[in-house]
Structure 1
Amino acid sequence: MKTANCPSCGAPVEFRSTASILAVCGYCKSTLIRHDLELENLGRMADLMEDASLLQLGAEGRYRNSHFALIGRIQLRYQQGVWNEWHLLFDNQESGWLSETNGNYVLTFPSPAPESIPAFDATEVGHSLQLHGQDFQIVNKETSTCIAGEGELPFKVGAGYEAPVIDLSNEQNFATLDYSETPPLLFIGEQIELGALAMTGLREREATVGKAQVKSFNCPSCAAPLQIRATGTESVACGNCGSVVDAANENHQILSRFRIQNTYTPKLPLGSQGHLRGADYDVVGYLRRQVTVDNVDYAWSEYLLYSEKEGFRWLSEYDGHWNFIKTTTRTPKIKRGLPKPKAIFLGTEYQHFQTATAKVIYVMGEFTWRVSVGEQAVVSDYVAPPLMLSEERTGGEITWSLAEYIEPEEVATAFKLKQVLLRPIGVAPNQPSPHLGKVWPFWKAFGAFTLSALLIQIVFMIASQNKTVYQSSLEFERNGAASSLTTEVFPVSGTGNLVVRNQTSLSNDWLYLDMELIERNSGRSYAFGRDISYYFGRDGGESWSEGNSRDEVVLSEVPAGEYFLQIHAETPAGGGERISDRLMVVRDVPQWSNFFITLLGLTIFPLLKWWRSHSFESRRWAESDYASSSDDDSDDD
């Protein structure tokens, strides 16, 4: 560490990083350039904008088991807002940068830029660029302006300093190309949660500028009362007259006006406070967006939430369906060329649901960008219930966000709403199926019951008598007349069924038997008719057959006794060989019919559950770009 005295006020100025060439005096705000041990005063550094950041100079943390400290900061303004770049110094003198914007954090490190880096003007949002063997997508391109700096910095900056930059990302990493120098500076890293850095020495929440300093003023157009609750707010929309006011301008300059065609009453009033998913939130902004599909308008509401702990989040509501949304700097991997393109994000596979152009039709309250009615973005949604991954693409930026479906009751409880929220209508793109995980247990139970039924059937087959109690050879004349005969009496013992079988010599012929089984002592009888026919031949070189020369009938639960058969036969006329018939009566024959009836009955329950699950998924995908196709790929188990 090197120490020198500020040439303006004499205060000690420390240079802990060997790479630092600029420092801002912590006492008089002089901008000092280091020339070995001599300090050149470039004048007073502009004031930083107040913000609600928990970070401050001197705060420390750990990244991958390496200790670091925050030694500098650059505050920059871009088209849609303000962000901080914190200069990190590790114990091994390695430098890094922690980018902070709207509650999102990205940690990057300087990296040698390839010689093939295209010129700034040659880059375009959405295009791909390979950096050190990784494919990145350009997600943002613009020229940012420095507001001010503090602490130690490795290069010269000042108010008004311009930095043309492009941001790039893939599923795992984030990169920035800074074209303020030649060749461009490259920084590569990753999105990270602040809690993962084990930070100490952070600002106390009471010291941050947040909801404790609500700013109130009147709309410069209609004098309606307006408020700014969240630090980082760039614009405030007046729901009364349609004016959009510059929140960063002390005179509250009007940025734009829109014609209010319809007024909307937010279900979550502006200023509402609630506790949702482990954090306290204020409802600071409300907007309505709309897409038009097949000449039909579909509109939904979006609420901007602000938390001192988490930064900005969103709640969206459509037809009673709610989603809790967080933006991400990561870019998923997209698999195209499939019936439904897929997005791979953090190990989860999402199916493409819909792509449409969304338009803002109404705004009210605070926003982190200069919002305007009429602004448009091409939105592509990918679903993996209860999650939905969304890409919003404008001319200069691609933004990804991750939404999670939440029940209306959770929203109502979180914000202590007095009114009852609308009950969800239809099925939302990422609404969890109430049948998820419930179909497969039914099939498992079906399998278990089927196995049990099969074992029982096998036991019955083994235990059955399957005993022939009577058999005889019969013959019938082909004379077209009816004939009758009566068999001998035969004893039937035990319990169970009786099967009467006829094995005939029919060949392209028929035989009708009117049969009656009679118990000699009680007179109990069982009557049944059998129409037996068998035909075959060849037609066009192909053989065919119809019917069967064999026949059997099952008489259930025939009690023991002494039985005989009365048979009345009808045969075709024409003469010829007699029709022979091998008649057999068999006691207690194992039957599969009961098994298959049981199987059919058991199938009803899993099939009904599957049908409900499939119906739910069909209703989901009926609202997608694939409404005409069935959802063969859905996981409804």
Structure 2
Amino acid sequence: MSSIQPQGYFQSVRQFRCTNCAGEITLINKRTNYVGCQYCGAVLDATSEAHQVITKLHAPSKFPPKSFIRLGMKAVFHGKKHQVLGRTRWQSDYKEYWSEEGETGYSDERWEYDEWVLMSEDRTYFYLIEDADGYAISTSFLPQHPNLPTGTNILNFRTARKERVIEYGDSKVLYFEGESTYQIKAGDQVKFAEYTSSGKSYIAEWRLLANSKEIKEIEFFEETSIPEWEVLAAFEDNAVIQEAKQKIGQINKRKRFWRITYWLTALAFAILLIHSFTQGREIYSQQFTVPQTNKPATEDDDPKVLATTQPIPMQAIKKIYQLELSATIPDNTDLWTGLEILNEQGQVINVMEGDFFRASGDEAWQEDGESGVEHWEEAELSKSLLYRLDQPGTYTARILALPTTAPDATVKLTLVEGSVLSRYYTIGLIIFTLIALVNSVSASMAKQVNQHIRSLS
């Protein structure tokens, strides 16, 4: 088995094949004593000629990287060139401090994260922590006041002020790949305690001697969160990022096409809307009074003919006609009306009905100890029908209605010849303008972020 190693900033100091799987391994750190094979999970002695297998970890397929970062990748952090040397997958079982509505305590938690070690051009190191919440940069430092927690308190490493421990527990190694100066085995365990100060996390880690409570070694770390776009900017000069940028460019090109399409569609609706205002022509309008009755309508009642219109000549067979039936009624009443269109032979060729109502009132409400009164209104008072003429002619309309108790109820018939689609043009204009605006704003924000990333690269 072999693999092409990523092209980095540093010349390799050793190259050999894994004695377990024959995968190609390249080392760039002169002080590397052990190497975890990224192909089979074996840990090898990097210093001997035989490169014997020291131990075997879990299969790499069980612990793939959480994102695009890979061994050997190059990056620029804080103006310095770095290269990825190794990755350790940790699992932490710990107590986490919580506070809610005056109560506090510690909850049991479990968390997994990757710890990438990066070496700079001047041979210094830092860790890039990656988990489900994002990224953080962790650096080792010598505290002015080194100490370990006593109970759930710890002294600030810089000021000696008492701090609350927000997390404490154990972390163990699940998997390791890449270069290391010391041997890493699955199950290796450290204890840790963490507090926060001035927006940063401070962590003490200590190892115990085997089968003992005696401390073997202690390390102190300062950890700062870093946004994902800064990480992407740091790794920008890598093939995987370039490929991703090309894909993003293609996606942005498609988005730009659809953004232009949305604007052009909105413009088309605007033109159609303006045109509709100059084209529609009302050719008939008449209002009819509905007789009032003391007896509400029932299902057994038959509609009564209110009136039959005078003959209406309609000659334009290529134009759209709109028939609108509307009602005027008082609050909290309803009215059923109907319309029949008759041709010159008195045959019914089209029908329409409208079940109109107007409702309003005040309602009392009470919620979460508060109460009040709100007013509501609801109504449906018009119905329209669009059609084209099959043939020119003279037509009449017959207006029907069920008995109503509503006083002063009227029904109005309106006939418009020509472009009567203004309401649909208005809806289309609003919808596509909003879509175009949302796409334009999101594109502008993405552009600003990309410009910021390029300025940092």
The bucket for the TM-score relative to the shorter chain is 0.3 to 0.5
Larger helix percent = 2
TM-score by length of structure 2 reads 0.47
Higher RCO (C-alpha 8 Å, min separation 6): 2
Larger Rg: 1
TM-score (norm 1): 0.36
